[in-house]
Amino acid sequence: MPQEAETVQFPALVVGGNDDPLFPLVELLELGELIPNGRTNLFEGAGHAAYYERANRFNNLVADFLRHGHDGARA
């Protein structure tokens, strides 16, 4: 995964829950750091389905990211 992440050439939003049993927090943070235009957002208390568990926050985050890109997305 690290080799592929470094080749991403567009803004990327990395979203995950800090209680995800399938994708460890350290790997999520690493992925966000490896992507040149990556931005990481953690959902406290959410698991693997953070997009579902925190649907309103997730939807607002993605909509803002799509509107404003990497520089305009807010955590």
Q: What is the pLDDT of residues 27-66, one digit of tens each?
A: 999 999 999 888 999 999 999 999 999 999 999 999 999 9
pLDDT tier, 5 (very low <50, low <70, confident <90, very high otherwise): confident
Q: Which CATH class is domain 2-69?
A: alpha beta
pLDDT of residue 73: 43
pTM, 2 dp: 0.79
Element containing residue 55 per DSSP (H, E): helix 55-72
Degrees to nearest 5, angle at CA 70 with 65 and 74: 60
Distance CA 68, CA 45 (A): 27
User: Per-domain residue ranges for the chain?
Assistant: 2-69
Buried-state track 21-36, b at ≥16 Cβ within 10 A, e below 16: eeeeeeebebbbebbe
